[in-house]
Chain A
Amino acid sequence: MRTIRFLLQKEFTQIFRNKPIMGMMMIVPIVQLLILPLAANYEVKNINLAVVDHDHSTYSQKLVSNITASGYFRLISFGNSYSKAYQLIESDQADLILEIPPDFERNLIRDNKQKVLIAVNAINGTKANLGGAYLNTIIRNYNEDIRMQFVQNEKKSPIPLIEIKPVNWFNPLMNYNLFMVPGILAILVTMIGSYLTALNIVKEKEVGTIEQINVTPIKKHHFILGKLIPFWVLGLLVFSLGLSISFIVYGIIPLGSLLLLYEFVALYLLSVLGLGLLISTYCETQQQAMFIAFFFVMIFILMGGLFTSVESMPPWAKIVAKLNPVTYMIEVMRMIVLKGSGFNDILPHLVKVLLFALFFNSWAVWNYKKTS
């Protein structure tokens, strides 16, 4: 116990003297939480629309004004030549073309049906998808409006109509920040845990101090604990800092138990610390450690469901995501913060993260040899 206390004392002295690292540990959560949620926004606005109107009727006029009034679209050209509009798409000025055929109004009233053409520039997949979907919805609504009008005009009993009213649970206003911020907190904890631990141990190898330590009677587990505990504490500190920022800036208060949240983060940190430790046992220089840690953390973050949901991944990617501790961390963060999930809800995640912690740490300890 005494040995560990002195190891910790030494470790913290060194960490606090390392001004750039200390500074970064404070700055990283602030910058990430302030900038990332605002920039990484999926909502698509300002879709450039070119309208080709061959009809020039009241109805076509009304359709176009319905579309522009939605706020998602910006009308950049209004003409009667499809090829001209197509040129706009080619020069990347327009994302969508809406072509209204001649006799749009007449056919609609006389034959009760009419077709319009939507051409989408699909180079930017997200924009194309969402833009097309928005436009479809607007046209459908417009269509229903007309039908209602017709029905009322003919003074018949109203036709049955299913109206769809979506209700957004857990994030009623579809506030994007509410979704991103817990995920970013998860990433923060992952980075602190894995990078700093790996680099710190490899530094001892690089400077040669590990040689000096190895000829002392100090025990293997003392040395490892002396390395893990400081970063475990720092990880929790940075997490708290991030949580405070998300409250102050975004007003996010975890719906679930704060204690449960901390319990999970504490356990999760053990697994990423184990990963860092494992990387350090395979590296001789800080450069190697940095690169390997970066590689894994990068994949873990991209495959962890922060930006793209795991459910929409192809089957093989789902398997990768299941073998990724970050996935569980991000999920649990969102569950506790947004949904207010309790202990029983996150129990499967807890078990899996515990398994990761055991797996990484025992592999690392097995590979950490005192004699070369």
Chain B
Amino acid sequence: MITLNHICKTYGKEKKIAVNDISLSVNKGEIFGLIGPDGAGKSSIFRILTTLLLADSGTATVDGHDVVTDYKHIRKSVGYMPGKFSLYPDLSVEENLKFFATLFNTSIRENYHLIKDIYMLLEPFKNRRAGKLSGGMKQKLALCCALIHKPTVLFLDEPTTGIDPVSRKEFWEMLKRLKKQEITILVSTPYMDEASLCDRIALIKNGKILSINTPDHIIKDYPDNLYKIKSDVIYTLLKDINLHSNTQSCFTFGEFLHVSFLSDTESMQQELLNYLSKKGHLNIVMEKTVPGIEDCFIHLLKKPA
């Protein structure tokens, strides 16, 4: 449905690399996540695929159409929701939706079934100016506008950034429902917890792909055992564990520290616990834990390329 072949993009005179030789393909009806920190090159990939930006080299297709030579077809058949809210703030909810429907030569009524679930939440505010909506409402409206022409592919660039957790959850539920309508969705997010909601994900850093797989596989590929440790004073605990010679990696994760060891044996674990007690830590808890996407991402980042 979407393919990228060795896409490169640099910006400006200094040739700052935004996208570095990225190849990937997204299957029909899949929710594909681009996961990476700010500045990883996610938005550039979106802009190349939505024909707003020309790549320096490489080829890309969307729904079988080349993004350079066949851009007209792509513009007819994709929905794009940019990272920044970009609907008309001085037009009402209904007017915005109607406007974008007409631009695609369709009407709200024709494709109402697609947006019904989302639009029902917006309906009480349909006469309100889009600029006066709350963040979550704005995103819902933007999604409606991107969906109103029944696109085959949906591009969502950080749709949940700056949105409260409840709205984020709702938003992902909507995406799941859209998937059932056989709409291919390419979504980017800086939130690792959203990654597990995708069918497949690509972890991106500095314009390069670190790994592409299903979230389960990425977690399964995590090579070491992971332990969570906590004590009364988490800050000094972090410092002390990092100083220990057997520590491979250690970082904070909620109220716990996630730690992996160089040599993972019972005796070495016991040795660490003794070492920490000696340092004066009280109420030490250490348990084995299942790694999350975030652990995998940090692991991949540390791995020498």
Residues of A within 8 A of B (CB): 2-3, 6, 10, 13-14, 17-18, 207-209, 211-218, 370-372
Is B104 in the interface zone, CB < 8 Å from A? yes
A208 B103 Cβ-Cβ under 8 A: no
Give the residue of B53, B90, B99, B105 whose beta carbon is less than 8 angstroms from that of A17.
B90
Contact, CB under 8 Å: A371 / B103: no
Contact (Cβ within 8 A) B75 A13? no
Q: Look across to chain B and name the residue whose beta carbon is closest to the beta carbon of A218.
A: B103
Min CB gap B280→A, angstroms: 54
Q: Which single member of A212, A217, A370 contacts B80 (CB below 8 Å)? A: A212
Q: Tell me, rounded to whole Å, the shortest Cβ–Cβ distance linking B16 to chain A.
A: 15
- Give me 9 other A-B pairs in contact (C-beta within 8 A), A215-B78, A216-B75, A217-B75 excluded: A6-B102, A10-B95, A14-B90, A17-B90, A18-B90, A207-B86, A208-B84, A211-B52, A215-B75
B102 contact from A3, A13, A209, A215, Cβ within 8 A: A3
Please measure, in the bound complex, the distance between the C-alpha atom of A13 and the C-alpha atom of B96, giving whole angstroms: 11
Closest 5 CB pairs of A and B: A208-B86, A6-B102, A216-B103, A215-B80, A217-B76
> Within the assembled complex, what's the spacing in Å between the Cα atoms of A219 and B51?
14
Question: When the two chains form the complex, which single residue of B52, B53, B91, B104 contacts A14, counting CB atoms closer than 8 Å?
Answer: B91
Knowing A208-B82, A209-B86, A216-B75, say if A372 contacts B53 (CB, 8 Å): yes
Partner of A208, one of B54, B85, B102: B85
- Is B100 part of the contact surface with A, judged by Cβ < 8 Å? yes
Q: How many A-B residue pairs have CB under 8 A?
A: 66
Say if the beta carbon of B89 comes within 8 Å of chain A.
yes
Q: How far is the CA of A136 from the CA of B101 in the complex (A)?
A: 76
**CA A91 to CA B244, docked complex, whole Å:** 90
Taking CB atoms, residues of chain B closer than 8 Å to A215 are 50-52, 75, 78, 80
A32 to B255, CA, bound (A): 68
Compute how far the CA of A208 lies from the CA of B90 in the bound complex, rounded to whole angstroms.
Answer: 13
Give the most central of B82, B102, B103: most A CB within 10 Å.
B103
What is the bound-complex CA distance between A372 and B71, given in angstroms? 14
* CB neighbors of A among B92-128 (8 A): 95, 99-100, 102-105
B103 contact from A6, A14, A17, Cβ within 8 A: A6
Q: Is B191 interfacial (CB 8 A cutoff)?
A: no
Q: Per a CB cutoff under 8 Å, which of A2, A13, A216 touches B100?
A: A216
> CB < 8 Å: which of A10, A208, A218 contacts B91?
A10
Of the candidates B52, B53, B100, the one having the most CB atoms from chain A within 10 angstroms of its own CB is B52
Docked pose: A122 CA to B188 CA in angstroms: 73
* Minimal beta-carbon separation of B115 from chain A (angstroms): 16
Question: How distant is B60 from chain A, measured CB to nearest CB, in Å?
Answer: 13
Q: Which residues of A contact B95 (CB under 8 A)?
A: 10, 13
In the complex, the answer to whether B53 meets A371 with C-beta atoms within 8 Å is yes
Q: Is the CB of B53 within 8 A of A212?
A: no
Nearest CB of chain B from residue A261's CB, rounded to whole Å: 34
Chain B's nearest CB lies how many Å from the CB of A344? 45
Report the separation of the CA atoms of residues A215 and B104 in the bound assembly, to the nearest whole angstrom.
10
30 A/B residue pairs, CB under 8 Å, sorted by A? A2-B105, A3-B103, A6-B99, A10-B88, A13-B91, A14-B91, A18-B90, A207-B88, A208-B85, A208-B86, A209-B88, A211-B52, A211-B82, A212-B80, A212-B86, A212-B87, A212-B100, A212-B145, A213-B103, A215-B50, A215-B75, A215-B80, A217-B72, A217-B75, A217-B76, A217-B103, A217-B104, A217-B105, A371-B51, A372-B52
List B contacts of A213 (CB < 8 A).
103
Q: Which of A14, A211, A215 has the most chain B CB within a 10 Å cutoff?
A: A215
Residue of B nearest to A6 (CB): B102
Which residues of the other chain, A, contact B78 by a CB distance below 8 angstroms? 215
Q: Within 8 Å CB of B80, what residues of A?
A: 211-212, 215
| Contact status of A14 and B76, CB under 8 A, knowing A3-B103, A215-B50 | no
Residue of A nearest to B72 (CB): A217
Q: How far is the CA of A211 from the CA of B53 in the complex (A)?
A: 11
Are B104 and A216 interface neighbours, CB within 8 A?
A: yes
**Min C-beta distance of A58 to chain B, whole Å:** 79
B75 touches A212 (CB 8 A): no
Query: In the complex, A235 Cα to B89 Cα: how many Å?
Result: 25
Tell me how far the C-beta of A283 lies from the nearest C-beta in chain B, rounded to whole angstroms.
18
Chain B hits for A209, CB < 8 A = 86-88
Interface centre among B84, B88, B145 (most CB of A within 10 A): B88
Closest to B92 in A: A13
A-side contacts of B102, CB under 8 Å = 2-3, 6
- Tell me, rounded to whole Å, the shortest Cβ–Cβ distance linking A20 to chain B: 12
**Which chain A positions have C-beta within 8 A of B71?**
371
Task: Please report the C-alpha to C-alpha distance between residue A371 and residue B86 in the assembled complex, in whole angstroms.
Answer: 17
A215 to B157, CA, bound (A): 14
A5 nearest in chain B by CB position: B102
CA distance in complex: A14, B92 (Å): 10
Measured CB to CB, the nearest residue on chain A to B149 is: A216
Chain A's nearest CB lies how many Å from the CB of B184? 16
Q: Mark B24-57, 1 if CB is under 8 A from A, else 0.
A: 0000000000000000000000000011111000
CB of B88 within 8 A of CB of A14, answer yes
Nearest-neighbour CB distance to chain B for A370, whole angstroms, equals 8
User: Which residues of B sit under 8 angstroms from A6, Cβ to Cβ?
Assistant: 99, 102-103
Q: Which residue of A lies closest to B54 (CB)?
A: A371
Q: A217–B78 Cα gap in the complex (Å)?
A: 10
Residues of B within 8 A of A13 (CB): 91, 95
Tell me, in angstroms, the Cα distance from A208 to B53 when the chains sit together.
Answer: 15
